[in-house]
Amino acid sequence: MTKTAFSDQNCYFCTVANGEADPWIFENRSFISIFDTNPVNPGHALVIPKRHVASLFDLNDHEHEDYFDALYAVKRVIESTDLKALYEEMPGREYLKGRPTDHIEAVLKLPFLGNKPDAYTIGNNDGRAAGRSIDHLHVILLPRYQGDVENPKGGIRNVISERAHYQRL
Ligand SMILES: [Zn+2]
């Protein structure tokens, strides 16, 4: 693993991008990827630039190219990983000792764990007002499964739930 040239020592995702935290599941020239240790659904992955850059809109030209390469490749990694084995192994990781593992236990109980994803939600809270808590870009690649929520219609529109509903005539 190579140390990144532009990192902030107080930033968790710089630590990850330096190979000092979560194990990488993918690396290209500009991005690395990890499985989120607070998974919302089986296979929940993060695609993170090596450079400490806050916004998707601040990526440079070669990062733009590498962004889609990373998304496509991480999708393939998600679909070829034994996710049951992943979540059985994850709570035993040294750096997670003493941290809550309820998200991991919850996905281990999901009836669709082990199924191929039926769809994806691809998301990025690009700024604090959008819910960002670490100012280093991390694109969420979230596998979706038939029946994972009661009514998926609207998808990411539901982040502002009172304005999520719409009707197309
Ligand atoms: Zn950073």
Going residue by residue through the chain (169 aa), what tens digit of pLDDT does each one get?
A: 445 556 777 899 999 999 999 999 999 999 999 999 999 999 999 999 999 999 999 999 999 999 999 999 999 999 999 999 999 999 999 989 999 999 999 999 999 999 999 999 999 999 999 999 999 999 999 999 999 999 999 888 888 888 877 777 6
pTM: 0.92
The whole-number pLDDT of residue 120 equals 98
Ligand 1 centroid, distance to 165 Cα (angstroms): 36
Ligand 1 centroid, distance to 130 Cα (angstroms): 18
The whole-number pLDDT of residue 34 equals 98
Ligand 1 centroid, distance to 51 Cα (angstroms): 7
Ligand 1 centroid, distance to 64 Cα (angstroms): 18
Strand order in the sheet with 139-144: 26-27, 31-35, 45-49, 139-144, 119-123
- To the nearest 10°, report the CA torsion of 66, 55, 38, 152: -90
**Distance, CA of 20 to chain centre:** 18
Ligand 1 centroid, distance to 141 Cα (angstroms): 19
**Distance, CA of 76 to chain centre:** 14
Residue tagged 């808590």 (tokens): 133
The whole-number pLDDT of residue 47 equals 98
The whole-number pLDDT of residue 6 equals 62
Ligand 1 centroid, distance to 104 Cα (angstroms): 25
Ligand 1 centroid, distance to 123 Cα (angstroms): 18
The whole-number pLDDT of residue 5 equals 52
The whole-number pLDDT of residue 1 equals 44
